[in-house]
Amino acid sequence: MTARFDIGAPVHVRAAYPPGHVRTPYYCRGKNGVVVRMCGEFRNPEELAYGVYDGAVSPMYRVRFFQTDLWDDYDGSPEDLVEIEIFEHWLEPVG
Amino acid sequence: MTDRRRHHDMGGLEGGPVETSQHAHEPWEKRVDAIKALLSDDKRQLLTTDELRRSIENLGADAYERYNYYERWISAVTNILLEKKVLSVDELGVKMAEIEARQGNRAL
């Protein structure tokens, strides 16, 4: 399996709200960030959560966001960041 | 129609003060931890961390707030074992009544 995004790639987190067990935090969905690290390939927790133990592995990325991009009322430094580990199927290219 | 944000997914919401005091685990809490470890081992493979999380999240907002950490675990593990037919509802009910009788209605 090859990774779709390189380090430094701007990415958009899908604004999807399915039921079930999802590891992508609500607050980053629909937001833009930048890939800063490849974390490896892992089975999908959304499938593992329902007993699918032999599903395909997929890449997971460390994605960096500006806090000011995540929260409308953020009053800290504009340089404040948060990094979130996100599976590839939640990410789309920007631009 | 369900809420787009599920109850447990509370990052960024006001959560109140964090309880930082240390406390010893009760014997039953250690037993719950052991049950989870045994169900997840290579021999049994009956439970993944993600299944446990899914089951905890499905307890609902009310239970999620009222139950403590290991109460959530044992409730979630119980539901998974029922789903997987490892336990039956009746088997569980009979055993719980037996233990309550043995304990003379003391807290389990």
Whether residue B71 is contained in a domain is answered as: yes
What ipTM does the predicted assembly reach?
0.87
Task: Write the single-letter amino acid at A5.
Answer: F
User: Residues B70-98: pLDDT tens digits?
Assistant: 999 999 999 999 999 999 999 999 999 99
The whole-number pLDDT of residue B105 equals: 62
Q: Which helix (H) or strand (E) holds B65?
A: helix B61-66
**Domain edges within chain A:** 10-93
Whether residue B83 is contained in a domain is answered as: yes
The structural domain count of chain B equals 1
Domain containing residue B65: CATH number: 1.10.472.20
- Give the nearest partner residue to B12 out of A27, A46, A50, using CB atoms: A27
List the single best residue of A13, A17, A26 to mutate versus B (max B Cβ within 10 A): A26
pLDDT at residue B1 greater than cutoff 50: no
A78 at the B interface (CB within 8 A)? no
User: Residues B51-68: pLDDT tens digits?
Assistant: 999 999 999 999 888 999
CATH 3.40.190.10 is the classification of domain A10-93: no
CA distance B27 to chain A (A): 28
Range of the domain at B45: 27-103
Tens place of pLDDT per residue across chain A (95 aa): 688 999 999 999 999 999 999 999 999 999 999 999 999 999 999 999 999 999 999 999 999 999 999 999 999 999 999 999 999 999 999 97
- Give the nearest partner residue to B50 out of A21, A25, A71, using CB atoms: A21
Would you call B76 exposed, middle or buried from its count of C-beta atoms within 10 A (0-12, 13-18, 19+)? buried
Whether residue B1 is contained in a domain is answered as: no
**Residues whose CB is less than 8 angstroms from the CB of residue A28 and which lie 6 or more positions away in sequence, other chains included:** A13, A63, A65, A70, A84, A86
